[in-house]
Structure 1
Amino acid sequence: MRKTLYIIGLSTIVFSCTSQQNVKKNTYKPKTPVVQPKTAVKTQTPEAPKPKVVSDHGVDFFTTNIADPTKNDNTASYGSIVSAKPGGYKVVKTYFPAVAQNFRQRYLILHYTAIPDDKSITVLTQQAVSAHYLVNNMGDNEIYQLVDENKRAYHAGVSSWRSDKNLNDTSIGIEIVNAGYTTDAAGKRTFAPFSDEQIRKVAALAKDIVIRYQIPATNVLAHADIAPTRKQDPGPMFPWKKLYDEYQIGMWYDEAVKQNFFAIAQEDFTTRYNEPSFVFLIQTALQKFGYGVEAGGKWDDATKKTIEAFQYHYRPQNYDGMMDAETWAILQALNQKYPTK
């Protein structure tokens, strides 16, 4: 009996102590408030609202560039916006336009027709050749548009410049009414001049196009430049330097730089003219500038025609297709001024 009472008493004491410990553990202690650092509130700069698409008689237009012009990007539409019309669905321009885009029109190519005004119109509108514009020789203030600038005209044919080929895809073509050339018994070509009225028209038209499409000077070219083995237009009578000096259109070399190269070139042509390595050097310089000539180290027919095309454009006083010291100096000066990017 005593043992029983003793065990019961001991259990009571243990239970009592355990309960006290639990009470101590659960005793409330007020916490010291911790001050959290305030998170900086970022103020979002509101996006500048996009100019709206303008609708006129159910046709949409967007004539404001919101892209980066330094990257040659442009979101402007010169004409109506062409959109799909899928059956049963509605195409909306809620997020139009995306900034990552640019123009198809990257080149401006100049030609002559080699036929009179009336025949030029017939051929360029009714046959399998065309251009975006035709500049007549009638002394008026009209320029004929023949093809939408957003469409491909068939004016360049098999063509290349630098890394681009088939330039119909990426160019605007201007045809100029001009008689072209006649050939004498010795095979020498004599080219017809252009009228002052025509050149003023061409300059105004070209200036408008290169500004709107941000076409660089390196991409304003002659048909002969992009197809030198088969074309001569617009020939050596076309005043490229006048367009460069008075209208800031196209490429031209700096005279002082040319003279520096000319002093060295004279010595090269005295001692190295027929060396294959020197011919190869000239061919690769023509390639670097943009011409699609093969570099084989020989004065072949394709190289001669390419030099001739170059002379039509940059050395019209002498276009015999023979590389001489002055032509070589001009080519080097141009390569220095307009390097391939």
Structure 2
Amino acid sequence: MRKTLYIIGLSTFVFSCTSQQNVKKTAYKPKTPVSQAKPAVKTPVAEAAKPKITNDHGAEFFTVNLADPKNNDNTASYGSIVSAKPAGYKVVKTYFPAIGQNFRQRYLILHYTALADDKSITVLTQQGVSAHYLVNNTGDNEIYQLVDENKRSYHAGVSNWRNDKNLNDTSIGIEIVNTGYTADATGKKIFVPFSDDQVKKVAALAKDIVNRYQIPATNVLAHSDIAPTRKQDPGPMFPWKKLYDEYQIGMWYDEAAKQSFLDLAQTDFATRYSEPSFIFLIQTALQKFGYYLDLSGKWDDGTKKTIEAFQYHFRPQNYDGIMDAETWAILQALNQKYPAK
């Protein structure tokens, strides 16, 4: 019995020692801590300095822009600041102006009056139509302002361009004294030219407006562009190319691009002319450029008048409202140069 107990005790002792040796072999060794980079401290961005507000006979003004002109955003003011006057409270401009704003004036629309000078003034000041400016034909250096640029004038009526409509809300209108057109024996419209003095006035005025409000070339338009089924002004005698070439105002196509499209169009234009799919393609291109029309796949009256309006602006040598290869080439060249965003 004693011998048995001795053997059991010796075995337990050996097992215990062996276990302790194993523990020592696998003893935990703490890992060397890995140093982590400290987060970079952001330097606070300095807030743009607020513009100084000047006071002139009780009216407040500021002319410093804080926003991004590339986005057609602007905080500059070209008139006095209009503020609320709530009873019992004081409106302060401690944090004025916020940078999230832009101009209401996004379009410049050109018209002719279809009247002589005196009648143009009477109609545009005493009746339910108006414009911000009137360019006379009297040979002087005066341009008549009829409506504050910050106010809506009633010059565009029912109107559309690209994704915008009711352009009275977002445009400045310039009326040019011109008697418009008469129809000859065949019904063709014969338009009256504009004087050199008028064109110079319009160019100087348009340049000033476009620069101040950062109006893009695609938004300098004829009344006939934004209402092609009911308006013809300022017609094919207005020198759009001259404004583009000499004053960098508005749109015009590149001749090389036009010629390239014309070479392609001449190969199959005549054979495809009456195909509904081809008519639909042309209507879609007109709509893509900016005109508002139905995609009917037919040479309907609305499509013809839209083509005529397009020709007034970009192909004044031929404004019969019929889509030919050259008009089609010009349209494609313009869509390539001024893609819709």
**Range class of TM-score, shorter chain:** 0.7 to 0.9
Could you tell me how far 1:51 is from its partner in structure 2?
A: 1.9
Distance in 2 separating the partners of 1:83 and 1:325: 55
Could you tell me how far 1:44 is from its partner in structure 2?
A: 4.0
Give the 3 Å change call, closer, same or farther, for CA 86–256 of structure 1 in structure 2. same
Higher mean C-alpha deviation, range 47-56 or range 301-310: 47-56
Match of 2:216 in 1: 216
Match of 2:59 in 1: 59
Match of 2:336 in 1: 336
Distance in 2 separating the partners of 1:301 and 1:147: 35
- Gaps in structure 2 of 5+ consecutive residues: 1-36
- For each residue in 1:20-75, what CA deviation from the matched residue of structure 2 results, as whole angstroms up to 9, or x when unmatched? xxxxxxxxxxxxxxxxx999876545434222111112111011101111211100
Paired residues, what number?
A: 305
User: Which residue identity does 1:130 align to in structure 2?
Assistant: S
TM superposition score normalised by structure 1: 0.87
Give the 3 Å change call, closer, same or farther, for CA 41–249 of structure 1 in structure 2. closer
User: Which residue identity does 1:263 align to in structure 2?
Assistant: D
Match of 1:94 in 2: 94
Distance in 2 separating the partners of 1:301 and 1:107: 27
Match of 1:291 in 2: 291
- Gaps in structure 1 of 5+ consecutive residues: 1-36
Distance in 1 separating the partners of 2:267 and 2:289: 23
User: Which residue identity does 1:278 align to in structure 2?
Assistant: F
Give the 3 Å change call, closer, same or farther, for CA 160–43 of structure 1 in structure 2. closer
1:136-285 matches, cutoff 5 A: 136-285=136-285
User: Which residue identity does 2:338 align to in structure 1?
Assistant: Y
- For each residue in 1:183-216, what CA deviation from the matched residue of structure 2 results, as whole angstroms up to 9, or x when unmatched? 1121111000000000000000000000000000
Classify the secondary structure of the residue corresponding to 1:264: helix
Could you tell me how far 1:108 is from its partner in structure 2?
A: 0.2
Could you tell me how far 1:83 is from its partner in structure 2?
A: 0.4
Distance in 2 separating the partners of 1:40 and 1:325: 63
Distance in 2 separating the partners of 1:257 and 1:235: 25
Match of 1:16 in 2: none
Distance in 1 separating the partners of 2:263 and 2:303: 24
1:38-57 matches, cutoff 5 A: 44=44, 46-57=46-57
2:115 aligned with 1:115: yes
Distance in 2 separating the partners of 1:309 and 1:67: 36
- Contact 2:64/2:76, CA 8 A, preserved across alignment: yes
- For each residue in 1:297-329, what CA deviation from the matched residue of structure 2 results, as whole angstroms up to 9, or x when unmatched? 000000000000000000000000000000000
1:6-17 matches, cutoff 5 A: none
2:83 aligned with 1:83: yes
Could you tell me how far 1:252 is from its partner in structure 2?
A: 0.2
Match of 1:19 in 2: none
How many percent of aligned residue pairs carry the same amino acid? 82
User: Which residue identity does 2:249 align to in structure 1?
Assistant: I
Match of 1:105 in 2: 105
Could you tell me how far 1:130 is from its partner in structure 2?
A: 0.2
Distance in 1 separating the partners of 2:119 and 2:105: 28
Distance in 1 separating the partners of 2:332 and 2:136: 36
User: Which residue identity does 1:81 align to in structure 2?
Assistant: I
Give the 3 Å change call, closer, same or farther, for CA 336–57 of structure 1 in structure 2. same
What is the root-mean-square deviation of aligned Cα atoms in Å? 1.4
Match of 1:72 in 2: 72
2:122 aligned with 1:125: no
TM superposition score normalised by structure 2: 0.87
